[in-house]
Chains A and B, each alone.
Chain A
């Protein structure tokens, strides 16, 4: 899976990548945690989690917007806030607006089409 996510182009499809593991969520989380290079491996793995497994990894998504060293993941999930299941989106947005990336969060959540998220923006 690491090799598949390393490719410069064409970009791998999440379904193809996840088919390489019997436990794709766990493997994607391991890659996010341990694969330092190239940087797009972690970003692509995170994108696959957001797109297909947001419910299962809600705590991880919330962690990204709260931790000091995860601005890239935070922006990634905030850019896709409208694609998340509503409870996950509310949890992520609420914590993001109170976290270290509040400025990044405010500008992105303000572009949401979800009234419940817009209501969170100060």
Chain B
């Protein structure tokens, strides 16, 4: 059998498996972690998720082969997610894309996906070789379950890590702190409380894309299991072409080399190397935008104007003018709408977009 598509453009408790359970308190909710290993059969690793009162789970699977989520099966026998239903022009989760040797699923994604009913859910993960054929391998799984009955408010813990020397640059630290203040202001109306911590580090000021750097798993290993790591660098992949990039849609709460958001202070400061008030506002929007990706949000429409997110209350607009008019003030719009001297504030989320962020397992 052949599994398509490759990317368009991260517990299972099984008998005999090692169990590690930890509880972390971050805000009003609780997070439980379970780990295990599953051997795939006929190219599918079937992962059981026992739910008892939890409201969301995040599954991070890794192996030596390519992985993608094939299906999510509910205790009542229904199948609320099947990969091929999301291989078209609407994007729900990158977990169904065959992109690498890990995959991350947060479930549910949307309010429309229903509540996480009690019972045993199963997640079918496809294991595929580099030729696109189903194969078998051991799949290591980290499952995090959120026990938080209130999906209208929550706290996100962001860990800001400065790359080598940047914490000693007052321009950088002042700009980042002011931008984080703006980021918190953007989220507050949607019931998301931002808690941040700041760290110094000796990690390189130039980082490749998430998943491609030798230091990145180490960067994420400093998180406490519910934090999202934001690494402040000078450049990304050797250039200032990238102002920021998220490690996944959604990103994992586990410790992998994809478990971070990377943001370039230099690209966000611009040619003068200083942060004006407008720069700060955009920088704050950039942080909220990139971490929004990490928490599961896609652009409401892509820059080709022919791919959209999976939400009903974000306009499925067509064309630049129509989309800028309908979505130009949306936090997740793919570019800022500017006139050379200023940009339209992009700080709006729809109810369903806020719902995705609230369902992210790290929102407690």
Chain A positions within 8 Å of B, measured between CB atoms, are: 2-3, 6-12, 32, 34-44, 46-47, 64, 69-76, 79
**Contact of B211 with A by CB under 8 A:** no
Cβ contacts under 8 Å, A40 to chain B = 240-241, 243, 267-268, 270
Shortest CB distance B305–A (Å):
12
Closest to B268 in A: A39
Interface set, chain B 253-288, CB cutoff 8 A to A = 266-274, 278-279, 282, 286
The answer on a CB contact under 8 Å between B270 and A6 is no
The answer on a CB contact under 8 Å between B243 and A36 is no
Shortest CB distance B333–A (Å):
8
The answer on a CB contact under 8 Å between A38 and B239 is no
The answer on a CB contact under 8 Å between B234 and A79 is yes
Shortest CB distance A21–B (Å):
16
**Contact of B228 with A by CB under 8 A:** no
Shortest CB distance B197–A (Å):
26
Assess A76 versus B240: contact at CB under 8 Å? Given A8-B289, A71-B273: yes
**Contact of B317 with A by CB under 8 A:** no
20 A-B residue pairings within 8 Å (CB atoms) = A3-B320, A6-B335, A7-B334, A8-B334, A9-B242, A12-B241, A32-B271, A37-B341, A38-B338, A39-B267, A41-B338, A43-B240, A43-B241, A44-B240, A47-B239, A70-B272, A71-B272, A72-B270, A79-B234, A79-B235
**Contact of B45 with A by CB under 8 A:** no
The answer on a CB contact under 8 Å between A36 and B234 is no
Closest to B240 in A: A43
Please, how many angstroms separate the alpha-carbon atoms of A91 and B279 in the complex? Answer: 31
Q: How many residues of B contact A (CB 8 A)?
A: 35
Please, how many angstroms separate the alpha-carbon atoms of A35 and B271 in the complex? Answer: 10
The answer on a CB contact under 8 Å between A36 and B340 is yes
The answer on a CB contact under 8 Å between B340 and A74 is no
Interface set, chain B 194-242, CB cutoff 8 A to A = 206, 234-235, 238-242
**Contact of B74 with A by CB under 8 A:** no
The answer on a CB contact under 8 Å between B335 and A7 is yes
Shortest CB distance B35–A (Å):
32
The answer on a CB contact under 8 Å between A39 and B340 is no
**Contact of B116 with A by CB under 8 A:** no
Bitwise interface map of B from 336 to 356 toward A, beta carbon under 8 Å scored 1, else 0: 101011110000000000000
Known: A10-B9, A37-B341. 13 other contacts (CB 8 A): A3-B335, A6-B338, A8-B289, A8-B334, A8-B336, A12-B241, A37-B340, A41-B338, A43-B270, A64-B271, A70-B272, A74-B273, A75-B266
The answer on a CB contact under 8 Å between A46 and B271 is yes
Cβ contacts under 8 Å, B272 to chain A = 69-72
Cβ contacts under 8 Å, A7 to chain B = 303, 334-335
**Contact of B245 with A by CB under 8 A:** yes
Please, how many angstroms separate the alpha-carbon atoms of A70 and B239 in the complex? Answer: 17
Cβ contacts under 8 Å, A75 to chain B = 234, 266, 273
Q: Which one, A3, A37, A44, A74, contacts B282 given CB within 8 A? A: A37
The answer on a CB contact under 8 Å between A71 and B274 is yes
The answer on a CB contact under 8 Å between B289 and A39 is no
Cβ contacts under 8 Å, B239 to chain A = 47
